Structure 1
Amino acid sequence: MTVSLEQLRRCHLAVDLGAARTRVFVKGAGLVVDEPSVAAVNTRTGALIAVGALAEQMTGRTPHYIQVARPVRGGTVVDVEMAQRMLRHLIGDKLRRQLRRKPFLRAAACTPHDSDPLAQRAAVETLVGLGARRVELVDTLIAAAVGAGLPVEQPTATMIMVCGAATTQVAVLSLGSIVTAQRIPIGGNAIDHAVIQYLRHQHELMLPSQSVRPLQLALSGNGLNPHGPSTTEIHGRDVATGIARSVLVDTAAVRAAVYTPLTAVLDGIGKVLRDCPPDLVADLADRGIMMVGGSALLPGLDQMLRDATGVPVAIADRPDICAVLGIGAMLEGKVRPMILDPLAEAH
């Protein structure tokens, strides 16, 4: 593991600060926070107006003096002070008082693979603002693999793909460590942006910012699969007049627009497989790829990866919260490293 399991078992809470959602796991209480990583601030007074789901609903609907901020981008904290304030309000006064009673509060945090020292320090500073005296950092890939129920501690290859809002991380794990990994700056937001741009340029249609995910809106049903409906009706606002209208969109053209950002993801998977030792690649032919993360639920994405790579692709039971459940399992001592017995000398 990236960090000592013994140290993790001493932690009292774990935090997964994602670009889309923030999740907090408290030992003994389970998952206590699962809210969007959004905060609304009054720029005149500096007061925090709302956090989480309520702040996300305010996006695009606020007067000029209320700013909707996202302190986490790409899994990295970009505004430590705002992230601290957001976390404090999400956790709530009652739980904060319980945590303050701990004489030596320890916390754990998920960090993206290959995050730089500045990003790691920002994550540590955010949790120190909650009163943590010590912060352990765990690679998101390992935490997600544990949460998905993969046998990461065994000497066999397991391939995991963490589909986040801003980034996609792909890795091959064996013996509790990362053998090879890639972090691709393409996530669910980039796929949504591709659909939005296509509708804007080809149909002069704008979608409301708080609509359901554009890809799910455009490709309901079979999603990226070519066997879905040939056309679908999408409601939005005319770019020129601002009047609401509906257009009939060719789903094949939407799929073509989506394939462009997904090509980078496929290239990343190919590079991971090329860098992986042949024996582990042989294991992957049977085990395949496990998809976790909120964007793993995009319709038809698993089938597209299955067709492109030729290996089995599965989606975890609860893909959006696998990382925080995995780090929570480490906190509660449910993960045991494989112990090798010393070979007895033959007499």
Structure 2
Amino acid sequence: MTASLEQLRRCHFAVDLGAARTRVYVKGAGLVVDQPSVAAVNTRTGALIAVGEFAERMTGRTPDYIRVVRPVTGGTVVDIEMAQRMLRHLLGDKVRRTLRRKPRLRAAACTPHNADPLAQRAAIETLVGLGARRVELVDTLIAAAVGCGLPVERPEASMIMVCGAAATEVAVLSLGSIVTAERIRVGGEAVDHAIVQHLRHQHELMLPSQNVRPLQLALSGNGLTSHGPTSTEIHGRDVATGLARSVQVDTAAVRHAIQTPLTAVLDGVGKVLRVCPPDLVADLADRGIMMVGGSALLPGFDQMLRQATGMPVHIAERPDICAVQGVGTMLEGRIQPLELDPLSS
């Protein structure tokens, strides 16, 4: 599925259509778009009202004739037409005019590991609608590994964990290819949902999912350990009366609710290590695991992973944009493949 480096060097721009955010890298200009994958539509006229951050702020606060939609779910385009309209508005007229001047516009798209043919086709159709004559597909795992500086082209093991909003992908890479990988359908959204359900069942408090992030930040830098604050105040709506109410939430109970979905992630890491060749696992004992993706910043997640595996765990410098930066690095030709001289017979 992953295009060759030579094919990617011919591309003019790259798009990472994530479940939470859409990022666009233009060759020679760098990262030009980093916005939430959200659009607000007027259902009466079909007009697009807002995209990106402004549309995300409208979630749950609109009249009935305005609908806030997410055309991308789990890294897969589920509404091609809306995704195209969203991308056009996010790029803006200036960038689109620059791209249209290219005689044969080529694009690259990040897709989840082992994406089915329908998902691949949806990504291609979305970029073709923007004027691309040819679309190259790049595995998100390889792109993220390149973006965070892992030596993926060398004959040594590199382990990466892409913590996305809808899923977590774990892989061991060597010689520029994936040796073994696992996709776990648990991501940042599952953690948010666990917190929302905990507050509903234990405190009879309804909390919109977009307000969960402050609660995670309140868990401090050691969010999944016992060194964080003992309690935090949360505002929401009472389930029975519908009135506004504030409660003091025990953060130890919240930590327990968060750990439940993350257990599946730890199981996925263990499965990848069990099927990985022993020589590569020996390399990983020193190198450890590199965490990328927005959910990698969940407080204390790296410590939890370190305790479960006994391996070093590192978080990339900018974990949220590693995938699109990796594709950009390949577009600019800043990474060279390992060349092997053929043996003479």
- Aligned twin of 1:190: 190
1:279 aligns with 2:286: no
Q: Is 2:257 the partner of 1:257?
A: yes
- Could you tell me which amino acid in structure 1 is paired with residue 248 of structure 2? L
Q: Deviations over 1:198-218 (max 9, x none)?
A: 011001112244425165155
Which residue in 1 is equivalent to 2:337?
337
Partner amino acid, structure 2, of 1:140: T
Q: CA deviation at 1:244?
A: 2.5
Shift of 1:237: 2.3
Residue of structure 2 in register with 1:147 after alignment: 147
Structure 2 runs not aligned, ≥5 long: none
CA distance in 1, matches of 2:294, 2:258: 17
Report 1:109-124 matches (<5 A): 109-124=109-124
- Give SS of 1:22's match: strand
**What amino acid is aligned across from residue 176 of structure 1 in structure 2?**
G
Deviations 1:63-95 (A, max 9, x none): 111110100000000000000000011001111
Q: Is the 8 A contact 2:196 2:209 kept in 1?
A: no
Q: Counterparts in 2 of 1:78-157, with a 5 A limit?
A: 78-157=78-157
Tell me, yes or no, if the aligned pair for 2:226 and 2:252 is still in contact at 8 Å. Answer: yes
- Comparing 127-136 and 214-223, the one that deviates more: 214-223
1:232 deviates by 2.4
Contact 1:2 1:177 in 2 (8 A): no
Separation in 2, partners of 1:12, 1:59: 33
**How far apart, CA to CA, are the structure 2 residues paired with 1:320 and 1:71?**
20
Name 1:54's counterpart in structure 2.
54
2:27 maps to: 27
Query: Which SS does the other structure have where 1:263 is aligned?
Result: helix
How many angstroms does 1:221 deviate by?
A: 4.0
Q: Which residue of 2 aligns with 1:171?
A: 171
Q: Is the 8 A contact 1:74 1:167 kept in 2?
A: yes
Tell me by how many angstroms 1:344 deviates. 7.2
Helix, strand or coil at the partner of 1:180: strand
Tell me the equivalent position of 1:39: 39
Residue by residue, what CA displacement relative to the aligned partner does 1:125-148 show, whole Å, maximum 9, x if unpaired?
Answer: 000000000000000000000000
Between the aligned residues of both structures, percent identity stands at 83
One-letter amino acid of the structure 1 residue matched with residue 216 of structure 2: Q
* Greater shift in the superposed pair: 336-345 or 114-123: 336-345
CA contact 2:17–2:72 (8 Å) conserved in 1: yes
Deviation at 1:193, TM superposition (A): 0.5
Give the SS at the match of 1:267.
Answer: helix
- The one-letter code of the counterpart of 1:26 is V
Deviation at 1:251, TM superposition (A): 1.6
- Equivalent pair of 1:19/1:76 in contact (CA under 8 Å): yes
- Partner residue of 1:245? 245
Q: Within 1, Cα distance between the matches of 2:209 and 2:49?
A: 20
Q: Does structure 1 conserve the Cα–Cα contact (< 8 Å) formed by 2:193 and 2:209?
A: no
2:229 corresponds in structure 1 to: 229
Give secondary structure in 2 for the equivalent of 1:201: helix
| Contact 1:218/1:234 (8 A) holds in 2 | no
Work out the CA distance in 2 between the residues paired with 1:4 and 1:289: 25
Q: What is the alpha-carbon distance in structure 1 between the residues aligned to residue 150 and residue 177 of structure 2? A: 13
Counterpart secondary structure, 2:211: coil
Quote the offset at 1:317 in angstroms: 0.3
Task: Write the distance in 1 (CA, Å) between the matches of 2:92 and 2:283.
Answer: 45
Once the two structures are TM-superposed, the CA of residue 260 in structure 1 deviates from its matched residue by 1.1
Counterpart amino acid of residue 66 in structure 1 = I
SS in 2 for 1:92: helix
Matched residues in 2 for 1:284 and 1:252: separation? 32
* Deviation for aligned residue 1:311: 0.6
Residues 224 and 300 in structure 1, CA contact (< 8 A), matched pair in contact too? yes
Deviations 1:144-166 (CA, angstroms, capped at 9, x unpaired): 00000000001000000000000
Residue correspondences, number: 345
2:218, 2:229 within 8 Å by CA — same for their partners in 1? no
Alpha-carbon separation, structure 1, partners of 2:221 and 2:139? 34
8 Å CA contact 2:196–2:212 kept in 1: the answer is: no
Calculate the TM-score normalised by the size of structure 1: 0.96
- Mapped partners of 2:210, 2:186: distance in 1: 21
Q: Note the aligned Cα RMSD (angstroms).
A: 1.4
Q: What does the per-residue CA deviation read over 1:228-260, in whole Å, with 9 as the maximum and x for residues that have no partner?
A: 222222222222223332222222211111111
Query: Is the contact between residue 192 and residue 215 of structure 1 (CA under 8 Å) also seen in structure 2?
Result: no
Cα deviation for residue 10 of structure 1 reads 0.3
